[in-house]
Amino acid sequence: MKNMKKILLVAVIALIAVVCTSSVVSAGFFDFLSPNAGDDSEGEVNLAAAASLKNVYDEKLIPMFNEKYPNIKVTPTYASSGDLQTQIENGLEADIFMSASNKQMNALADEDLIDNSTNVQTLENKVVLIVPKDSDSNITSFEDLKDVEGTIAIGDPESVPAGQYAKEVLTNLGIWDSVESKLSLGTDVTAVLNQVAQGSADCGIVYATDAKSNEDVKVICEAPEDALDTPVIYPVAVVKDSKNADAAKKFMDFLQTQEAQDVFKEYGFTIHEE
């Protein structure tokens, strides 16, 4: 009888061990099948990004991030970098700022509104001259703009980085004074693109990525490299008073992954090499 009890006890212990091992293996197996299993990160990211980034974020990057972190909500705000700078200065609840120029980022860093230790120089873009798709214009270069009789659309140089770069190019080519009276100033680069696409402007100066996103415009040429004092750089950083630091870090890390960089390149951006 005693031997029988011992055998029964050993059998029960063995059964418990098998059940526990089976549960652990099963859990690991299903975690393997579902890469996001167990990733219960929660929070939100308020993203303030230059208007030229809207398509790549809305169409690809935010959905990709949400696949990886389904419980982190990303709320984007798009505008000119200068406008976003002003909004952040006035208390916009942003966690991450991605500018189309270092000028606005540096200004916020000087005001101690950006965590400059997180500042990453992520992307580069090109400045291009565009006309409506069906245009029969004789424009072949930036220098030809001095002979344009109609309207030339650019971003407002006071607040729009694309406009600042446009003014820099036109000034360095020595034709700013001859075209200034013909300019139509857009509130951001998307407004400039739409003016040309709709034919309300004879031509315009935008980023290469914006031109690529609209089938109603065609690119005449890129701005000469020696006409730009600095390359078109897109920095990104965490806002100093972010209330969602953990979620913001995850988003920043995501932007630097190979998969995110491949998407940026798909949309016409170049990855900036330090």
Nearest CA-CA partner of 99 in 76, 72, 80 = 80
Task: Give the Cα separation of 232 and 163 in Å (integer).
Answer: 12
Integer angstrom CA distances of residue 18 from 9, 30, 71, 128: 14, 18, 35, 67
Q: How many helices (H) and strands (E) does the chain have?
A: 11, 11
Q: Which residue has the tokens 């659309």?
A: 153
Look-up of token digits 């406009």: 163
Q: Which of 150, 120, 160 is nearest to 261 (CA)?
A: 120
pLDDT tens digits for range 45-92: 999 999 999 999 999 999 999 999 999 999 999 999 999 999 999 999
Asked if 76 contacts 45 with a C-beta cutoff of 8 angstroms, the reply is no
Is residue 99 left, alpha or beta, with left meaning phi > 0 and alpha meaning psi from -120 to 50? beta
Alpha-carbon span 101 to 122, nearest angstrom: 11
Residue 14 to residue 27: CA distance in whole angstroms: 20
Beta strands 270-271 and 114-125 are: antiparallel
* Cα first-last separation, the chain: 79
Residue matched to tokens 């344009």: 148
Query: Per residue of the chain (274 residues), what is the pLDDT tens digit?
Result: 445 444 444 444 444 444 444 443 343 333 434 444 445 668 999 999 999 999 999 999 999 999 999 999 999 999 999 999 999 999 999 999 999 999 999 999 999 999 999 999 999 999 999 999 999 999 999 999 999 999 999 999 999 999 999 999 999 999 999 999 999 999 999 999 999 999 999 999 999 999 999 999 999 999 998 999 889 999 999 999 999 999 999 999 999 999 999 999 999 999 998 6
Q: Residue 125, Cα to own-chain centre: how many angstroms?
A: 12
What are the DSSP calls for 97-160, one per residue? EE-SSHHHHHHHHHTT-EEEEEEEEEEEE-EEEEEETT------SGGGGGG--S-EEEE-TTT-
**Global pTM value:** 0.78
Question: Which of these, 256, 157, 163, lies nearest to 204 by C-alpha position?
Answer: 163
Between CA 266 and CA 258 the distance in angstroms is 12
